[in-house]
Amino acid sequence: MNLSYSAEYEKFREEVRHFLAENWTEADRAATPDAEGVGAMTGAALRTDDRATEFRRKAIARGYMYRHIPRQYGGGEQPPDPLKATILADEFRRARAPFEIMGQGPSMLAPTLVAHGTEEQKQQFVEGTLLGRIRWCQGYSEPNAGSDLASLRTRGVLEGDHWVVNGQKIWTSNAHEADWMFALVRTEPDAPKHDGITYMLIDMKTPGLTVRPLRQMTGEADFNEVFFENVRVPKDSIVGERGRGWYVSRSTLKNERALIGNATFARRTFDGLQMMAQLTEVRGTPVIKDPVFRDKLVELEGHLLAAEYNGHRLLTAGGRGEDPGLPGVVTKLHTTTLGYHIGKLAMDMMSDRGCLAPGEQNAPAAGMFGTGYMWYFGMALGGGAPNIQRNVIAERGLGLPRDPRR
């Protein structure tokens, strides 16, 4: 079996390397606060300062980023090509250069707006979102509407040119930093529960909106409660048709599972783990030379490669307008489970020192692995808890009978 790239793709790789050498130099890497050691596996790709923004503009102009977004809305607009996508991810990671911002706005909302938004909404929001200038949070889950999201109770009543919104959202990631929220609001209380929901864009500075952080076991507060008390939202701030928000939200949920199931985070963590294994010694010998550890590392990389290649399969199916079927259903559950096991192996390797928090003296990799290990517990729940995902795989992917409902 020949797994090498053709001459066409090797030429493309050289073009990408030449672009990176000219536009993201050693001086740029040195100016990146976290572009050293293991931190380079995470932070450099997500930076949104002026230096990174200008670099991203150049990369988008070359068609290297946001290839699925039309140029008129700030994207790179290129035909789907999983091999080129792989080369780009590999080379940008190798150069420790900023790549696509992976977050709720660029990865989840922007494609939804391109598919369902008005022309005015696309022009107002998409490019700024891709470059990180506009930050978003997702107003979906409520205290009694998590996995059964369609049971949400946050209500919107149309009064003149505004919706008056009252209710509560919970587990709202980054609401304390967001500029805008994309939210599901019940506007037709007498309609069947899936048919009475509207998809709204809400300015987080609107009077009557309150954000309360929720402290996590990592010590951070990335999740929040959000309360709406007579929040007035302009009438035209809805995506799609009134009362049809559930169908718009399915696009966003699909993008969310693709984001959470993306193997990029797991790959960065795995690369950092390998680096730490070379630097960490037990009884005077680097951990990377321990045969038991190496066996576990090889097993994890096998699962990681499977996740990456499955991602190529999904990209190809999407480019052809095809339903990926079972490969698309298993992605989120498989990748979050994999991330957990990578983090667990890192914690086992570092022993007690792995429990040191970021910023504490002698914390390995600046505390990245301990935080990441706990973070993957949360990611296992985001976009659908594991038990829900297993039911989806069984029923929709494998065609097994539905669970009996009592």
Predicted confidence (pLDDT) at residue 391 exceeds the cutoff of 80: yes
Model confidence pLDDT, tens digit, residues 63-78: 999 998 999 999 999 9
Of residues 97 and 28, more confidence is placed in 97
Active site residue 256: yes
Tokens of 164: 């008056």
The one catalytic residue in 14, 142, 256, 301 is 256
Model confidence pLDDT, tens digit, residues 202-229: 999 999 999 999 887 777 778 899 999 9
Q: Mean of the per-residue pLDDT values for the chain?
A: 84
Predicted confidence (pLDDT) at residue 43 exceeds the cutoff of 70: no
Predicted confidence (pLDDT) at residue 92 exceeds the cutoff of 50: yes
Of residues 236 and 353, more confidence is placed in 236
Query: What is the pLDDT averaged over residues 327-339?
Result: 81
Of residues 290 and 318, more confidence is placed in 290
SS (H, E, C) 231-249: EEEECCCEECCCCEHHHHH
Domains and CATH numbers, the chain: 7-100 (no CATH), 136-244 (2.40.110.10), 261-397 (1.20.140.10)
User: Residue 257's pLDDT is what?
Assistant: 61
User: Residue 45's pLDDT is what?
Assistant: 42
Query: What is the pLDDT averaged over residues 75-89?
Result: 87
Of residues 45 and 183, more confidence is placed in 183
SS3 at position 264: helix
Of residues 321 and 2, more confidence is placed in 321
Q: How many CA atoms lie within 13 A of 263 on its CB side?
A: 27
User: Residue 48's pLDDT is what?
Assistant: 65
SS (H, E, C) 123-167: HHHHHHHHCCCCCEEEECCECCECCCHHHCCCEEEEECCEEEEEE
